[in-house]
């Protein structure tokens, strides 16, 4: 049984059931590399303020370096009975340098240690997810370039609405993910703070060089309030929130893909590598990854909500309730990174059925808005034009024929201002070229946006 870092005032042994319940090593072993980075920085600061001699500093740094190498190789065996990662590391250093290891805990608490290691974890993984999102955006923009000349029915309320470029739809996904990228940048920024020297809540007695420790850890700022730091987990809330919004974005994209691969539309084909079959029905090719991606937001939202409930009503400064943060954080981060990585491969292998897109465009009600707008160009008030176009659509549906096959005289009985130019409207390319606004599906706008995205993503790297 390990000697507790806090056991001096206790006469009784801890209840083994409580000890098992309160242990966090199963979660916070992920903080190993960050804790060891902090140890190295702290050793240098202790030497500078005179707590450690040069010889002691060298021995401790060598011990930490050895643990870092073993950890990187995966050969470091931590005591599974350790209370947490900090206790486990202390035990390993104790094996290497004896009681000199006890000096390492001078001028720090597990409160500022866990806060700092968690911040380093968040900073690194926010950057990882940011990079993954860049890769996903690049795959999406390339797919937009590949499909920019494919026109199909855009939908609102899951009903055909207007003609739109498939490339324009893919670019919408790039826009969504750009907003998520901004959230992970913010997450990285709020984690980029050195909190060492805060101690348990009031600061420490020794003149630690906090700027030195910040530089050693690659951090750009130093906390200005030790009391706030011990209970602050806003940086984790930011991470969980960013994962939740990203999960929502990916869920909506996955739903689009699911709708587009239904047999009735069969517009999008997903690579078999991301599908499974049925144990009963031999013909099935199920887009299981898209379904799992669609539902993954439940993981993210659950973790965010769970941790919010943990924080609600906690007094400021440290409380043991905060130990639950790691389970929520690590679960969301690991699912998020895995999810985005697979999404990149999925998008790269997607195929769009050009022939099916053409068949879907046989629904000429897609041009009803263009029809109304053409009447406005002839001086008809839009509300009147809207009503006249609606009557034409209703007649065409009841007659069971395309609008383009209805004679001009009959069309003019609904909309007197129409002339023969009305038949030019029933072309997807023409419909797209009618759009004049920035951000529209006009082919030149889509091409321009693709080039802009390519340049932007190169800059973002």
Query: Is 0.85 topped by the overall pTM?
Result: yes
> Does residue 406 carry a pLDDT above 70?
yes
Q: What is the rounded average pLDDT of the residues 291-315? A: 95
284 pLDDT tier (thresholds 50, 70, 90): confident
Residue 117 neighbours by CB distance under 10 Å: 24
> Does residue 74 carry a pLDDT above 80?
yes
Average pLDDT score over the chain? 94
CA 415 – CA 378 distance, rounded (Å): 11
Which segments of the chain belong to CATH 1.10.275.10?
13-106
Helix spans in 23-157 (H) = 25-28, 32-48, 54-73, 85-97, 110-147
292 pLDDT tier (thresholds 50, 70, 90): very high
The whole-number pLDDT of residue 16 equals 79
266 pLDDT tier (thresholds 50, 70, 90): confident
> Does residue 13 carry a pLDDT above 90?
no
The whole-number pLDDT of residue 4 equals 63
The whole-number pLDDT of residue 1 equals 46
Instruction: Assign domain 13-106 one CATH number from 3.40.190.10, 1.10.275.10, 1.10.3720.10, 3.40.50.300.
Output: 1.10.275.10
> Does residue 263 carry a pLDDT above 70?
no
Q: What is the rounded average pLDDT of the residues 241-254? A: 97
The whole-number pLDDT of residue 362 equals 93
> Does residue 220 carry a pLDDT above 80?
yes
The whole-number pLDDT of residue 5 equals 62
**Which of 300, 182, 312, 293 lies closest to 241 in space, CA to CA?**
300
Least confident of 95-104, 182-191, 254-263, 390-399: 254-263
Reading phi first (left if > 0) and then psi (alpha if -120 to 50, else beta), residue 50 is in left
Contact indicator for 388, 376 with CB cutoff of 8 Å: no
More confident residue, 398 or 284: 398
Q: Can 157 be counted among the known catalytic residues?
A: yes
Candidates 22, 55, 220, 278; catalytic one: 278
Q: Can 398 be counted among the known catalytic residues?
A: no
Pairing of strands 159-165, 151-156: antiparallel
> Does residue 117 carry a pLDDT above 60?
yes
Which segments of the chain belong to CATH 1.20.200.10?
117-199+231-359
CA 332 – CA 244 distance, rounded (Å): 9
Phi and psi torsions of 156, nearest 5°: -130, 150
Q: How many percent of the chain have pLDDT more than 70?
A: 97
> Does residue 265 carry a pLDDT above 90?
no
Report whether CATH 1.20.200.10 matches the domain 117-199+231-359.
Answer: yes
7 pLDDT tier (thresholds 50, 70, 90): low
Candidates 157, 279, 398, 420; catalytic one: 157
Q: How far is CA 189 from CA 166, 221, 237, in A?
A: 36, 10, 13
Q: Which helix (H) or strand (E) holds 244?
A: helix 234-260
């Amino acid at each position: 049984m390990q000697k507790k870092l806090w056991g001096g005032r206790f006469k009784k042994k801890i209840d083994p059931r409580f000890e098992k319940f309160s242990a966090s090593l199963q979660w916070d072993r992920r903080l190993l590399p960050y804790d060891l980075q902090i140890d190295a920085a702290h050793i240098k600061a202790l030497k500078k303020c005179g707590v450690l001699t040069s010889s002691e500093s060298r021995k401790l740094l060598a011990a930490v370096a050895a643990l870092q190498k073993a950890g990187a190789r995966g050969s470091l065996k931590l005591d599974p009975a350790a209370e947490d990662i900090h206790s486990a590391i202390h035990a390993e250093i104790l094996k290497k340098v004896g009681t000199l290891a006890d000096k390492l805990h001078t001028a720090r608490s597990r409160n500022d240690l866990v806060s700092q290691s968690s911040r380093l974890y968040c900073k690194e993984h926010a950057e990882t997810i940011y990079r993954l999102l860049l890769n996903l955006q690049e795959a999406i923009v390339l797919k937009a370039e590949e499909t920019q000349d494919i026109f199909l029915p855009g939908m609102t309320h899951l009903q055909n609405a207007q003609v739109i470029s498939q490339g324009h739809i893919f670019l919408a996904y790039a826009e969504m993910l750009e907003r998520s990228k901004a959230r992970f940048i913010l997450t990285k920024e709020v984690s980029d703070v050195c909190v060492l020297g805060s101690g348990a809540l009031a600061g420490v007695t020794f003149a630690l060089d906090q700027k030195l420790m910040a530089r050693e850890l690659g951090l750009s700022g130093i906390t200005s309030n030790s009391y706030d730091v011990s209970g602050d987990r806003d940086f984790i809330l930011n991470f969980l929130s960013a994962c939740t919004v990203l999960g929502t974005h990916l869920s909506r994209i996955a739903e689009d893909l699911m709708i587009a691969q239904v047999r009735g539309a069969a517009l999008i084909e997903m690579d078999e590598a991301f599908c499974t079959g049925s144990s009963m029905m031999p013909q099935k090719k199920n887009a299981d990854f898209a379904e799992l991606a669609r539902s993954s937001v439940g993981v993210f939202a659950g973790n965010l909500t769970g941790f919010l409930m943990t924080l609600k009503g906690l007094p400021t400064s440290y409380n043991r309730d905060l130990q639950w943060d790691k389970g929520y954080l690590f679960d969301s981060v690991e699912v998020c990174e895995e999810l985005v990585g697979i999404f990149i491969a999925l998008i790269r292998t997607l195929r769009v059925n050009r022939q099916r897109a053409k068949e879907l465009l046989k629904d000429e009600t897609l041009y009803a808005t263009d029809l109304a707008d053409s009447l406005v160009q002839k001086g008809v008030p839009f509300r009147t034009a809207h009503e006249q176009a609606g009557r034409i659509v209703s007649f065409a549906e009841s007659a069971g024929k395309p609008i383009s096959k209805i004679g001009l005289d009959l069309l003019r009985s609904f909309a007197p201002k129409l002339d023969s130019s009305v038949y030019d409207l029933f072309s997807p390319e023409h419909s797209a070229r009618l759009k004049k606004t920035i951000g529209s599906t006009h082919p030149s706008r889509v091409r321009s946006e693709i080039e802009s995205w390519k340049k932007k993503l190169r800059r973002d790297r």
